[in-house]
Amino acid sequence: MEERFDLIADFDLNMICNFFRQLDRQGPGSEDETIKALSFIKELPINAKIADLGCGTGGQTITLANNISGDIIAVDLFPGMIEYLDKRVKQQGLEDRITGLIASMGDLPFSDNEFDLIWAEGSIYHIGFEKGLNEWMKYLKPGGFIAVTEATWLTSNRPIEIERYWNENYPEINTASFKLKQLEQAGYNPIATFVLPESCWSDIFYKPMADHFDSFLKEYNYSESARQFVKRQKEEIAYYELYKKYYGYVFYIGQKPE
């Protein structure tokens, strides 16, 4: 797994996967914002083929299936995530539309020109924004779309403490204008860019996360690594509370030229 940029790189990956998969979402985002991003993508065929990369337990996958037609391949590196995704898909009766696949987004078993749409919420950072945009282009049909969310500076000047925190954890964070340029340089036409509202972090991601700490610690018998992990997550939440006006997630939507 390409974990170089992961905020949680030093911990037992199974434990972390188990923690996150018990949450509805594994990153900041919401149904409303997924639908908003979709509203910019107007020309999908009825039998569209869609890839959802780093799908986690499928929060956004279900929203995609409920709002566009076509078939979705939902990809995650961790079997534990796909196991929960499969359960959710079954509960919703979407088995004929969504197929879970265990694979790495850096080494995808896809063919050139296969997809009408590539989706990646809160996950492209695992291989890096620039690398992901460049590598995934070939899987899109001409005229196909890409939509990803990515950690982005919302101002051009930031306090040194938050700069340091992000540079230690994901040095590829940058401003939206910089990232849009990378999207253009990768060969896409820009379609839309918008900032996710704070509620996607505070209410939808961090609140359920914080509510889950106690039962998680119990589940792991208050082990040293579980306590360290929770401490690290609490630190992440505290940084967000203090510095949220300086960074956020931005949706970047592009189109491969015809």
Residues that bind ligand SAH in the complex, under the rule CB under 6 A: 1-2, 25-27, 29, 54-56, 59-60, 75-78, 81, 104-106, 121-123, 126
Residue 152 C-beta: closest distance to ligand SAH, Å: 15
- Cβ of residue 201: shortest distance to ligand SAH, in angstroms? 12
Residue 248 gets which letter from DSSP? E
**Smallest distance from the beta carbon of 157 to ligand SAH, in angstroms?**
29
The whole-angstrom distance between residue 183's C-alpha and the CA centroid of its chain comes to: 17
User: Which are the contacts of 175, defined by CB distance < 8 A and separation ≥ 6?
Assistant: 152, 153, 156
Select 100 or 144, whichever has its Cβ closest to ligand SAH: 100
Our CB check for ligand SAH shows the closer of 76 and 150 to be 76
Report the nearest approach of ligand SAH to the CB of residue 90 (Å): 18
CA distance 253 to 77: 23
Token digits for 142? 């001409």
Q: Which CB, 19 or 166, lies closer to ligand SAH? A: 19
CA dist 67 and 6 (Å) reads 31
Nearer to ligand SAH, 37 or 162 (CB): 37
C-beta of 120: minimal distance to ligand SAH in Å?
7
* DSSP letters spanning 176-210: HHHHHHHHHHTTPEEEEEEEPPTHHHIIIIIHHHH
- Residue facing ligand SAH at closest CB distance: 56
Judged by CB, which is closer to ligand SAH: 1, or 238? 1
CB of 161 to ligand SAH, least distance (A): 25
Q: How many CB atoms lie within 10 A of CB 97?
A: 19
Task: Name the residue nearer to ligand SAH (CB basis): 62 or 162.
Answer: 62
Which backbone phi and psi does 21 adopt, to 5 degrees?
-70, -15
